[in-house]
Amino acid sequence: MGILDKAKNAAKHTKLKSEILLLDREINAKKQKFGIEVCGLLWDLDAKNGVGGKLSPLASPWEAAKADLTKIRDQKAEIQAKIDADAESKQRGEKEDASVMDKAKATGTEGKRRAKLQLLEREAKARKQKFGVDAYDAAIQCDTGAASGGGSTLTDSKNQGAQKVSDSISSNKKMTFVEKQMAKAAVGVVSAGLSQLTVSETDVLKCIQTVQSEIEAITQKKDDKLAKIEQLKQPA
């Protein structure tokens, strides 16, 4: 192999390595997104039935994540309660006679509390993302067969029902445009409120199945590039 060929191979090798690095980042991002989505489902499911059965492999990592998220939630609730109490007190006029300095301090305190709430929001998001990365291997051990075959979940049924009602409103000739829009908005609110009641084990399994399929596709691309790197190492 000549010097020029070696240089070309080195350039190809570097390019493939860079592409593999990007694919690794994409896989990690998929797992983080999965963590955010599945934590919401597990939280609602846990409150209703607990996490077990086909989801047993997730039980242990979920308990650890739930403990951290519960602590963050309680901290947020405590801070929000203080903000609400101050706002209610201000609304009743209890602080009208406060000095300018005291009012400035109160404003500063509220600002700090709201900033703390934002930090806790980011902390909760980061913990969910970490759960997705850490628990992915456990998640794919779950029996996702129950989520296959195109069967609809309770959430699917809820969404389909909401769509039927919305379509019925649209076709109602006795309602004005404004009345239709208001009715559709009400349906959306009710549908969103039913989410916690309709989360099922199958919803979680479908979420796992989706991310597993996406990551397997990316992993295949990565494997193809690794194979090309190995080919470049072979003598001409």
* HSE, side-chain direction, 13 A CA sphere, residue 43: 17
pLDDT at 157: 46
Question: Does one domain contain both 91 and 189?
Answer: no
150 sits in the region (left: phi over 0; alpha: psi -120 to 50; else beta) called left
Instruction: Flag whether pLDDT at 158 surpasses 70.
Output: no
Name the residue type at position 169.
Answer: I
Residues in CB range of 211: below 8 A, 6 or more apart: 30, 31, 33, 34, 136, 139
3-state secondary structure at position 115:
helix
Q: Is the dihedral of CA 52, 55, 61, 66 positive or negative?
A: negative
Question: Does one domain contain both 114 and 181?
Answer: no
Higher pLDDT pick, 147 / 83:
83
Question: Does one domain contain both 55 and 105?
Answer: yes
159 phi and psi, to 5 degrees?
-65, -40
Question: Does one domain contain both 94 and 146?
Answer: yes
**29: containing domain:** 3-153+200-233
Q: Which of 160, 158, 139 shows the shortest CA–CA distance to 207?
A: 139
pLDDT at 89: 77
| Chain segment 68-120, per-residue pLDDT in tens | 999 999 999 999 999 888 888 777 665 556 565 666 676 778 889 999 999 99
Rounded to the nearest 10 degrees, the angle between the axes of helix 201-233 and helix 154-170 is 110
Number of structural domains in the chain: 2
Question: Does one domain contain both 166 and 139?
Answer: no
Least confident of 18-32, 105-119, 217-231: 105-119
Question: Does one domain contain both 86 and 158?
Answer: no
What is d(CA 39, CA 73) in angstroms, rounded to the nearest whole number?
13
At 179, list the tokens: 């009345």
| Chain segment 34-71, per-residue pLDDT in tens | 999 999 999 999 988 888 889 999 999 999 999 999 99
Instruction: Flag whether pLDDT at 179 surpasses 60.
Output: yes
Q: Which of 200, 209, 202 shows the shortest CA–CA distance to 141?
A: 209
Question: Does one domain contain both 22 and 107?
Answer: yes
pLDDT at 187: 54
Question: Does one domain contain both 13 and 26?
Answer: yes
Distances (CA, A) of 181 to 47, 149, 162, 164, 168: 33, 36, 14, 15, 12
Question: Does one domain contain both 19 and 105?
Answer: yes
Cβ–Cβ under 8 Å, residues 170 and 180: yes
Average pLDDT, the chain: 82
Cα–Cα–Cα angle for 220, 226, 231, rounded to 5 degrees: 125
Question: Does one domain contain both 194 and 212?
Answer: no
Question: Does one domain contain both 119 and 149?
Answer: yes
Question: Does one domain contain both 83 and 116?
Answer: yes
